[in-house]
Amino acid sequence: MTLWELSDPCSRVRGIGSQLTADLGSIGIHTVRDLLLHAPRSYEDRNTPVSLLEALQQDVPANCLLTVLRHEYIGGRSGRRTLKVLAHDEQTSVSLLCFGRDFLANVLRPQTQIRFFGKVSVRYGEVQAGSFDVEPAGTDSRGFGRIVPVYPLAGRLTQGVLRKVIAEAIHGYADHVEDTLSPELRKSIGITPSPVSTARAISDLHNPRRIPEARTARELLATEELLLLQLRTHVDRASTRVAGAREARDLPRGLASKLVAALPFRLTADQTAAIEDIWRDCSSDTPMNRLVQGDVGSGKTLVSFVSVAFQKEAGFQSVLMAPTELLARQHADNAARLLEPFGVRTALLHGGLKGSIREALLRALAAGEIDFLIGTHAVFTAAVAFRKLRLVIIDEQQRFGVAERTTLRQKGLVPDTLFMTATPIPRTLALSLFGHLSVTTIRTMPAGRKPIITHLARLGNEQKVYRAVDAELAAGRQAYFVYPLVDGSGSLSLKDATAMKERLEREIFPGRGVGLVHSRVPEAQKAATMASFTRGELDVLVATSVVEVGVDVPNASCMVIEHAERFGLSALHQLRGRVGRSSMQSYCFLVYSDELTEAGKQRIQVMHRTSDGFEIAEEDLRIRGPGNVTGMEQSGYLKLAIADLSHDIELLQRCALIAQNVVDDDPGLLSPEHSRIRDALKAYTRTRLSE
Ligand code: ADP
Ligand code: MG
């Protein structure tokens, strides 16, 4: 078995009970593999002792071998006594202040040798240490005589506990894993001449004998992960590039032209170019695999609808998968409004459809009486059968991949696939991550849009913001108010959506209609609230970040985000994109509190300075590192276990090339030398999809 197949739950590891399982789960460690790949953030060298004099000269904790002289107790101001252990080495004496650790009196016996690890400094005329680890020399402990890993912690987790359970996991699992990469693959990646085994790399990552070993180990494991990531995308691509999957045939464009001509506006040049790209792809003999990226409101959805018209006229069906039911509904409403007049029969498959109504819909779909089906991932379940599906549109997520394609292929389908995303992918990453997709970028916004004016306000000055919003409401416009929390649970002194809905309704905008949506509002109610906000019956919509993607109410001109410092950059950008969707002037108000972290401050400044989604994405990458670029993170696409793209971009690019070569030579990865990587890939793909 390879490392990547270690999907047993952590609770199988000795010493991990239910409480610890929960604590580990809260930082994303669920499986044995997650635990083994929880990389130390640094290491303490407790291996080679130095003298107290040397220790004094360095600014970091040091490791010394000392002899205990005697114990003293010193009085504290509160009358509590503190144990003070006097110890020395050849040249120097030191006072070890054992605050609250009286038990050390039994451990540090006079005249015995002890191992010490801590920071020493000169205070009150003597050499002192106040926080340190000690143990009698000669005892066999995990703490000394080695290089000790220092892990990222959260909640109740402690270094000691993590060190112990990770050691158990290495012992129980890692020591037995097979290498993921065959010698041939290692050679082509350049892990030569003395490659360590995967098992050894895991052990070195946590317990290196010398620090450079840990670096080598991390690199091997990161390489494995990135190679799997790239293999996954290239296998995926290869599986759609079925030679001669169909005849090249120019799709008719009459219906699409009529649709475009009937729009109350003209398409932007970028929209037209995107439509051309798609038409060309869909008319060729190779199924399309295209990503259309463009800022919120740039008109991607419309582009996809025009593509549906091509398919309809050629006699094919299309399906659109949205990330949430709210968005699916909205797309379905728009599709009905724009496409039905041209004879395109649309339908929404939603969770509320039950029994005979659902049956009827599925029958109509199978009979080809529905041209365009819209829904969430439920549109790909086994019960949903199409007559002639030819176009799959995926809105706002890259998760659609191997599993869904497999389902479709089992139904004998190799459709054209169109991904749409408003998460601007930084140039530095796009090529490597989406090398398997053709990319079209919509950069220009529809004509006549005024840039959104962004105002910053310190918490405490929000009355000004409320007054500005009030003026907009009085002019017949609508506003969003977004909060980081659903309700005030917990001790954080944050405003929350539920309480603020009440306040805005009663005190701040009395007489106005105020609605509330968040993740815990039932779907049907959410849909009803959204619908009445869309119709203009509600003036104010209070929400959490659920309104982040896709919601489209052109009459809304104000976006107020309170505790803006709590949101990530791309979330802020997405939220701001909810306004400015018509020709009227729109405003975004970012209300921030004093408890700004440096990163929080930078984010708000970036939002103030620019509205270019690509620039914001680059900044996001710079401030937080790519693993955290929201949107990609949400999509599950970039949840990397050990690789870190802010350091490993070059490695990623190298892996992309290798993956391409491997897959080009052997698209099914069927040759025996690939058997382990095939298994690893299977496991890797499975966990990614189930995230
Ligand atoms: P996206 O999916 O990129 O967020 P949409 O396709 O939903 O954008 O478009 C946002 C809004 O702009 C919709 O109301 C849409 O009808 C409108 N729109 C799209 N293209 C244009 C255009 N060329 N000119 C004016 N308005 C447009
Ligand atoms: Mg959209």
pLDDT bucket at 310, cuts 50 / 70 / 90? very high
Show the tokens assigned to 336: 């009905």
Measured distance CA(478)–CA(498) in Å, rounded: 19
CA nearest neighbour of 63 among 162, 145, 159: 145
118 vs 243: which has the higher pLDDT: 118
Measured distance CA(220)–CA(223) in Å, rounded: 5
pLDDT tens-place string over residues 111-152 = 999 999 999 999 888 999 998 989 888 876 656 778 889 998
pLDDT bucket at 434, cuts 50 / 70 / 90? low
Q: Is the pLDDT at 688 greater than 50, yes or no?
A: no
pLDDT tens-place string over residues 254-292 = 999 999 999 999 999 999 999 999 999 999 988 888 889
CA nearest neighbour of 179 among 4, 32, 10, 40: 4
- CATH code, domain with 132: 2.40.50.140
Looking at the fold, whether 602 and 481 belong to one and the same domain comes out as yes
The pLDDT value given to residue 591: 95
- Which of 259, 292, 295, 301 gets mutated to test ligand 1 (max ligand atoms within 8 A of its CB)? 301
Average pLDDT over all residues of the chain? 86
Looking at the fold, whether 24 and 169 belong to one and the same domain comes out as yes
Cβ of 298 below 6 Å from ligand 1:
yes
Q: Locate tokens 């009196």: which residue?
A: 105
34 is a domain residue: yes
Of 104, 121, 145, which residue sits at a domain end?
Answer: 145
Q: Is the pLDDT at 678 greater than 90, yes or no?
A: no
Q: Is the pLDDT at 66 greater than 90, yes or no?
A: yes
Angle, to 10 degrees, between the axis of helix 211-240 and the axis of helix 675-690?
80
CA distances from 211 to 41, 42, 205, 292 (A): 12, 10, 9, 44
Collapsed DSSP state (helix, strand, coil) of residue 44: strand
Alpha helices in 509-644 (DSSP H): 523-534, 569-576, 598-609, 613-624
Domain ranges, residue 122: 48-145
- Summarize the confidence of residues 642-653 as an average pLDDT: 77
539 is a domain residue: yes
- Summarize the confidence of residues 370-393 as an average pLDDT: 90
CA 445 / ligand 1 centre spacing (Å): 9
Ligand 1 atom at minimum distance from 296 CA: 4
Which ligand has its closest atom nearest to the C-alpha of 304?
1
* Segment among 145-149, 404-408, 469-473 with least mean pLDDT: 404-408
Q: Is the pLDDT at 409 greater than 80, yes or no?
A: no
The pLDDT value given to residue 614: 75
Q: Locate tokens 């049907």: which residue?
A: 524
Cβ of 440 below 6 Å from ligand 1:
no
The CA-based diameter of the chain, rounded to the nearest angstrom, is 96
Looking at the fold, whether 582 and 479 belong to one and the same domain comes out as yes
pLDDT tens-place string over residues 385-402 = 999 999 999 887 655 455
CA nearest neighbour of 556 among 482, 481, 480, 478: 478
Looking at the fold, whether 600 and 466 belong to one and the same domain comes out as yes
Query: What are the strands of the beta sheet with 126-129, ordered from one edge?
Result: 121-123, 126-129, 93-98, 81-88, 62-75, 113-118, 132-136
CA 254 / ligand 1 centre spacing (Å): 22
User: Residue 418, CB half-sphere, CA atoms under 13 Å: how many?
Assistant: 29
User: Atom 4, ligand 1: which residue's CA is nearest?
Assistant: 297
Looking at the fold, whether 549 and 590 belong to one and the same domain comes out as yes
Looking at the fold, whether 68 and 132 belong to one and the same domain comes out as yes
pLDDT tens-place string over residues 168-188 = 999 999 988 999 888 888 887
- Summarize the confidence of residues 59-68 as an average pLDDT: 90
What residues are neighbours of ligand 2 (ion), with CB under 5 Å?
301, 550
Which ligand has its closest atom nearest to the C-alpha of 335?
1
pLDDT tens-place string over residues 612-641 = 877 787 777 677 654 444 444 433 445 678
What does DSSP assign to residue 4? G
Looking at the fold, whether 77 and 169 belong to one and the same domain comes out as no
User: Residue 190, CB half-sphere, CA atoms under 13 Å: how many?
Assistant: 7
CA 440 / ligand 2 centre spacing (Å): 15
Looking at the fold, whether 597 and 531 belong to one and the same domain comes out as yes
Q: Is the pLDDT at 12 greater than 60, yes or no?
A: yes
CA 541 / ligand 1 centre spacing (Å): 21
Measured distance CA(678)–CA(683) in Å, rounded: 9
The domain tally of the chain equals 3
Cβ of 554 below 6 Å from ligand 1:
yes
547 vs 417: which has the higher pLDDT: 417
Q: Is the pLDDT at 424 greater than 70, yes or no?
A: no
What does DSSP assign to residue 316? -
